[in-house]
Structure 1
Amino acid sequence: MIEIVKPALEHLPFYKAALERGWSPDNVRLLEATREQLEAIEQDPVAFLAGLDDPEAKGPPITLPDGTTVPRLPGFRRWIWDGEAAGSIGLRWQKGTSALPPHVLGHIGYAVVPWKEGRGYATEALRLMLEEARAVGLDHVEITTDLDNLASQKVILANGGMLVGRFAKAAAYGGAESLKYRIDL
């Protein structure tokens, strides 16, 4: 059984161990994000954890992969937990609307550690995060995935996702063609 937990000091050694094994919670920035997170944990673990829970968008602006910066959206991360760190799932939104700015690829992003893939963890974590999305007032979420990411497409469909269509990612993300899904809440 898995759960999604608010990142906390008690879970941090397990999360750090997953990062040290080469896993990245960021499907776009990959090992660059892993390195940054390990450095942040080393510098100030409490501040690192606090930065993962920002429903008021008080943190600094976000730097996109092309180096441009954009205002931070409200959001938070939860760790996928089965007695140890099994992955990460995040939710972001704009206050008062379910719409997202064009540079945001979706409301929810997730990544499971490779050594625990194929166990249904992402499917269950997404189901649990949909409850959190309802709690912040969203009436639907959008989730995007690459054309060749069949595992993620199955996760989204298993949670009631409906394919909206193909789209080109913003130039900041390389402009590749991707798929957009919607899950009504």
Structure 2
Amino acid sequence: MGAPFKLVQPSAEYLSAYVAALERGWSWDTVRGKVAADEELELIRKDSAAFLASLAIRRPEGAMVTLPDGTQVPRLPGLRRWMWDGEFCGAIGFRWQDGTEALPPHVLGHIGYTVVPWKQRMGCATRALGLILPLAKEEGLRYVELTTDPANVASQRVIEANGGVLHERFTKPEAFGSTPGLRYRIALERIADGS
């Protein structure tokens, strides 16, 4: 049986497992997929310490993010954690704007997650979301929003298992293909403070 499930700070200790997942075709970026995975592999090969340091910056100054249509926008404050059960399971990220729950139009939700295919349907995403919610509460947010596709029933169940309630049906911005989406909210007042 594997080690207990936890979220870990991206670090050299876990990097080889992260690289192996990228090389197997998994990507943290579920929209840009292989292109984003290849970009990360190149960054890691060039300077793995710099790559890891970039993930540790909670409030980036001047850092940019590439949207699916190639547009670059300023990176919001945020953090990324890797899912770990003795093996790499996936990643979860949380982003925010200080002092408000509002997000820019190009940011679909506060939290995004993805599980490697060989660890799916094992509860990893549900546990990871539950573990990151106290970190969102520490930033002073009253709620977080998460989005998913109408056909992604598994993701809807993950969100609902953590107290998510459907807030609205919407059309994603053009940069994301103008496709239908579902926006959920999770109220954070019931979440225990993290440690």
Identity of aligned residues (%): 58
TM-score scaled to structure 1, two decimals? 0.97
RMSD: 0.9
| Aligned amino acid, residue 140 of structure 1 | Y
Equivalent residue for 1:169? 172
Counterparts of 2:27 and 2:64, CA distance in 1: 21
Equivalent residue for 1:157? 160
Counterparts of 1:91 and 1:54, CA distance in 2: 12
Structure 2 residue 19 is matched with structure 1 residue 42: no
Counterparts of 2:179 and 2:45, CA distance in 1: 35
Equivalent residue for 1:125? 128
Structure 2 residue 6 is matched with structure 1 residue 8: no
Aligned residues: 185
Q: Is the 8 A contact 2:62 2:74 kept in 1?
A: no
Partner of 1:11, secondary structure, is helix
Counterparts of 2:174 and 2:146, CA distance in 1: 18
Counterparts of 2:130 and 2:9, CA distance in 1: 16
**How far apart are 1:62 and its partner, in Å?**
1.6
**How far apart are 1:53 and its partner, in Å?**
2.2
Q: Is the 8 A contact 2:81 2:92 kept in 1?
A: yes
TM-score scaled to structure 2, two decimals? 0.92
User: Structure 1 residue aligned with 2:34, among 31, 49, 52?
Assistant: 31
Counterparts of 2:70 and 2:23, CA distance in 1: 25
**How far apart are 1:138 and its partner, in Å?**
1.3
Structure 1, unpaired ranges of 5+: none
Q: Deviations over 1:90-138 (max 9, x none)?
A: 0000011111111101000000000010000000000001011111221
Q: Is the 8 A contact 2:172 2:180 kept in 1?
A: yes
Q: Is the 8 A contact 1:15 1:84 kept in 2?
A: no
Moved over 6 A (4+): none
Counterparts of 1:148 and 1:54, CA distance in 2: 34
User: Structure 2 residue aligned with 1:134, among 131, 137, 143?
Assistant: 137
After superposing the two structures, state which structure 1 stretch, 114-123 or 17-26, moved more: 17-26
| Aligned amino acid, residue 178 of structure 2 | G
Q: Is the 8 A contact 1:2 1:81 kept in 2?
A: yes
Equivalent residue for 1:67? 70
After superposing the two structures, state which structure 1 stretch, 63-72 or 41-50, moved more: 63-72
Equivalent residue for 1:179? 182
| Aligned amino acid, residue 7 of structure 2 | I
Counterparts of 1:61 and 1:72, CA distance in 2: 5
Structure 2, unpaired ranges of 5+: 189-195
Structure 2 residue 107 is matched with structure 1 residue 112: no
**How far apart are 1:76 and its partner, in Å?**
1.1
